[in-house]
């Protein structure tokens, strides 16, 4: 006997209901950050450097953690101007 089910809306466990509920300023900031992060191609080189340096490490999790640390230590940081919408 088949039981028909209705698709449920996904539950949201964040501060907002998702990108659709962001203010115009927040949505523009989000898109700007995503666009600029996608253009940062140096990330793969940094991860490869770290993986080469940790070849002898037997634990993959440790290698990934060191790779993440290496990327965070060497990636550029962009400080944006504050907007009146934030205050």
- pLDDT per residue, tens digit, the chain (87 aa), is 566 666 666 665 666 667 778 888 888 888 888 888 777 778 889 989 999 998 898 898 999 999 999 999 998 888 877 655 554
Q: Would you kindly state where each structural domain of the chain is located, as residue ranges?
A: 41-80
Do 70 and 47 contact (CB within 8 A), yes or no? yes
Do 77 and 48 contact (CB within 8 A), yes or no? no
The pLDDT score that the predictor gives to residue 69 is 92
The pLDDT score that the predictor gives to residue 73 is 93
- How many Cα neighbours within 13 Å face the side chain of 42? 9
């Amino acid at each position: 006997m088949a039981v028909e089910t209705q698709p449920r809306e996904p539950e949201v466990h964040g501060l907002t209901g998702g990108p659709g509920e962001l203010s115009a300023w927040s949505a523009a900031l989000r898109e700007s950050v995503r666009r600029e992060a996608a253009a940062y191609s140096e990330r793969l080189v940094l991860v490869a450097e770290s993986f080469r340096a940790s070849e002898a490490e037997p634990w993959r999790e440790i290698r990934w953690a060191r790779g993440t640390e290496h990327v965070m230590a060497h990636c550029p940081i962009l400080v944006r101007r504050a907007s009146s919408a934030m205050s």
